[in-house]
Structure 1
Amino acid sequence: MQKVCVYALSEPNHGSDASSLNTTARKVPGGWILNGQKRWPANSSFADIFVVLACNTSTNQINGFIVNGGAPGLKISKIDNKMSLRVVQNCDILLEDVFVPDDDRLPGANSFQDLVKIYSISPHTIGDTDLTDYVAYIQALSFSRVIVAWISIGIAAGVYDACLRYLGERKQFGAPLAAFQLNQEKLVWLLGWRLYKLHDSGRMTTGQASLGKAWITKKARETVALGRELLGGNGIVTDFHVGKAFCDMESIYTYEGSYEVNVLVAAREITGIASIRPTSRL
């Protein structure tokens, strides 16, 4: 049976500093009581399972917990009035005394670092549902950044194609506008493909994933902005789709770690020095 799973990490007041989250998990007989808020997890409005990261009040470490959709005390509300990525149902999540059985705490994850670097977790079930596919993370955040990098490539390639068609059809000053070239698209494809091959072979590092996400989204953002510019006033109307891609790219440039945070993660791997000081919970 297939299930929709949500990874609930970001909070209203904690995005880039995700390890400082405020959601708590308090030990009680037979399980845990979760309280707190999450913001932005995509598709939460119809998710079956939530992987919620919370601070263990006993150890002050970040642990992971599996919460069933519809659990008592779990409240979901869709974020309205978004300007971009409107097809994605980002939501606010409120946890009020949500009970999680002991068996539904993620095994082998005793800190934030464990949760973002887990390579495998033993099979896990809720009732008769096998959740191995949902909790067997492979460098969870790093893999997410590879996915975002490829989304950026797709958006840049789409804008490139749209602009190529438009510039071939539209004439100004007696000549088609097709003389203008968008060469940035070629650059992002090369690095994106290399990231995919490294991940597929199990050789991708956290720093490489962060560098790829930062670099590719930056170049894709420039490509899309140039595409909007090439279409002139038509670049902001929905008929040509470039304006929508422009807004979507702004969101993608930020989520799964901002450009600055990902650059510092890559620099930490290069230099061995962390310029972002970890909190005591790491």
Structure 2
Amino acid sequence: MPLTLTTPADHAATAPAAPAPRLHADFYDLQAALTDGERAQLGRIRDFLQREVAPRADEFWERAESPRHLFPRFAELGMLGAGIPEVAQYDNSALYRGWVALEISRVDASTATFLGVHSGLAMNAIWVGGSDEQRERWLGPMARGEIVGAFALTEPLSGSDTARGLRTTATRRVGADGADEWVIDGAKRWIGSGAFSDITVVWARDTGDGEMKGFIVPTSSPGYAATKIERKQSLRAVENADITLTGVVVPESLRLQRIHSFTEVAVVLRLTRAEVAWQALGNGIGAYEAAVRYTGEREQFGKPIGSFQLVQHKLATALGNITACLAMCTRVSQLQDDDAQTDAQAAMAKAFVSARMRETVALCREVMGGNGITLDYGAARAFCDAEAIYTFEGTHDMNTLIVGREITGIQAFVS
């Protein structure tokens, strides 16, 4: 008997007490690895996403606007900072947080990215690199959705080589009041939520010791300017920005006190990289579910196209990709829960899953023929969004080089 697709109509308007039902694409029931409590909370989140995000996802994508009005609801559901003990609303695992990323991206990859920047990158940067005082000051308001955070590492001339090629500088000096302060100069690009964030975690090279430092920069600071990047054709509902910093003065109290070099920054990236693999997986599942619905409804030659052998082959290939990726994501998150996940393991998950996602969304768009290029049938947005997911959090090539270094013991990055 075929599995039943989970659709918006399957969910009541109230939060379900029972665990979330199994997804059609979860062919081996890997969701069963979650606790009953995690599955119940996942069901509440799935219900919310289907009722309040899915109906307007295409609209926000076309308008190139983030669904900022939903930020308080994300906070109520414990979706902000769920992996940070100081602010998490309930006990949960990295595996559960991966499933949440999957569920969000399954409905809208832009929303998943929007939340990932705030909760994964900005909040984790403060949690990993901040002092106790900084954690107390910032993480609570961010978890409550009172402050929106962004994460500024990538630069116009520095993407994959940020570890060595960072051009933004921070110069320490004594201020007029006799206290230490920093002057930041430089530019950043592709900064998710940077067009409207309240604070941005800015990474800059210390002109004193040459090491990378992190700063919590209020976006109202004099000399800070953000310009929304227009004409994007992927993750359009993520409001990326070009940012310039011209003589931005930041007090020592806003320097992340536990960040002394790129080594600590890499810890933050490892925490989020595996979660981006889950996001890629969710984007592929969203396209797959749309394709299954479409092939059951669309008729050609007097019968549903789902009865054609070539169409079934494409759907089976897509499901095989999803199943393999779900198994990989499950294991890499279990390793994170055991505090045993390595950079190479996270990098392999992101590289492999995003590549399989690319193939999956292409197959799913293909079975829809010409209809597949419109937003009306559920695959076009996933198809376009796949390109950005494939590229960010380390390009495919860079992540494979991290894995290659682990395999051979030889550094193959350009020196």
TM-score (norm. length: structure 2): 0.60
Instruction: Name the CA distance, whole Å, in 2 between partners of 1:217 and 1:145.
Output: 11
In structure 2, what is the equivalent of residue 152 of structure 1? 280
Stretch moving more, 188-197 or 258-267: 188-197
In structure 2, what is the equivalent of residue 10 of structure 1? 154
Which residue among 151, 156, 169 is the counterpart of 1:24?
A: 169
In structure 1, what is the equivalent of residue 52 of structure 2? none
Instruction: Name the CA distance, whole Å, in 2 between partners of 1:18 and 1:144.
Output: 17
Stretch moving more, 178-187 or 222-231: 178-187
Instruction: Name the CA distance, whole Å, in 2 between partners of 1:161 and 1:94.
Output: 41
Quote the offset at 1:272 in angstroms. Answer: 2.1
* Cα shift readout 1:106-150 (whole Å, capped 9, x = no counterpart): 22322212322xxxxxxxxxxxxxxxxxxxxxx211122112111
- The answer for unaligned runs of 5 or more in structure 2 is 1-140, 175-179
Instruction: Name the CA distance, whole Å, in 2 between partners of 1:38 and 1:67.
Output: 13
* Cα shift readout 1:156-201 (whole Å, capped 9, x = no counterpart): 1111110001111112233322141232222221111112222222
In structure 2, what is the equivalent of residue 271 of structure 1? 408
Quote the offset at 1:241 in angstroms. Answer: 2.3
Aligned sequence identity (%):
41
Q: SS of the residue aligned with 1:46?
A: coil
Indicate yes or no: 2:207 matched with 1:79: no
Instruction: Name the CA distance, whole Å, in 1 between partners of 2:192 and 2:181.
Output: 27
Aligned residues: 256
Equivalent position amino acid for 1:28 in 2: R
Q: SS of the residue aligned with 2:401?
A: helix
In structure 2, what is the equivalent of residue 111 of structure 1? 261
Q: Map residues 55-74 of structure 1 onto 2, 5 A cutoff.
A: 55-74=205-224
Q: Map residues 97-108 of structure 1 onto 2, 5 A cutoff.
A: 97-108=247-258
- The answer for unaligned runs of 5 or more in structure 1 is 117-138
Task: Indicate conservation of the 8 Å contact 2:286/2:378, yes or no.
Answer: no
Equivalent position amino acid for 2:241 in 1: C
Equivalent position amino acid for 2:289 in 1: D
Quote the offset at 1:7 in angstroms. Answer: 1.4
Q: SS of the residue aligned with 1:113?
A: helix
Stretch moving more, 90-99 or 173-182: 173-182
Instruction: Name the CA distance, whole Å, in 2 between partners of 1:115 and 1:258.
Output: 17
Quote the offset at 1:82 in angstroms. Answer: 1.1
Equivalent position amino acid for 2:237 in 1: V
Equivalent position amino acid for 1:254 in 2: T
Indicate yes or no: 2:372 matched with 1:235: yes
Quote the offset at 1:62 in angstroms. Answer: 1.4
Instruction: Name the CA distance, whole Å, in 1 between partners of 2:265 and 2:324.
Output: 32
Quote the offset at 1:277 in angstroms. Answer: 4.1
In structure 2, what is the equivalent of residue 169 of structure 1? 297
Q: Map residues 207-246 of structure 1 onto 2, 5 A cutoff.
A: 207-246=344-383
Stretch moving more, 203-212 or 41-50: 41-50
Please identify runs of 4+ aligned residues in structure 1 that moved more than 4 A.
none
Q: SS of the residue aligned with 1:59?
A: coil
Task: Indicate conservation of the 8 Å contact 2:361/2:382, yes or no.
Answer: yes
Q: SS of the residue aligned with 2:246?
A: strand
Q: SS of the residue aligned with 1:84?
A: coil
In structure 2, what is the equivalent of residue 37 of structure 1? 187
Instruction: Name the CA distance, whole Å, in 2 between partners of 1:169 and 1:199.
Output: 41
Instruction: Name the CA distance, whole Å, in 2 between partners of 1:86 and 1:108.
Output: 34
Indicate yes or no: 2:267 matched with 1:143: no
Instruction: Name the CA distance, whole Å, in 2 between partners of 1:155 and 1:114.
Output: 30
In structure 2, what is the equivalent of residue 135 of structure 1? none
Quote the offset at 1:71 in angstroms. Answer: 0.8
Task: Indicate conservation of the 8 Å contact 2:290/2:377, yes or no.
Answer: yes
Aligned residues: CA RMSD = 1.4
Instruction: Name the CA distance, whole Å, in 2 between partners of 1:66 and 1:238.
Output: 38
Instruction: Name the CA distance, whole Å, in 1 between partners of 2:195 and 2:304.
Output: 47
Instruction: Name the CA distance, whole Å, in 2 between partners of 1:277 and 1:62.
Output: 19
Instruction: Name the CA distance, whole Å, in 1 between partners of 2:168 and 2:414.
Output: 21
Q: Map residues 195-210 of structure 1 onto 2, 5 A cutoff.
A: 195-210=332-347
Equivalent position amino acid for 2:195 in 1: S
Q: Which structure shows the higher strand fraction?
A: 1
Equivalent position amino acid for 1:205 in 2: T
* Cα shift readout 1:179-235 (whole Å, capped 9, x = no counterpart): 412322222211111122222221111100000000000001100011111111111
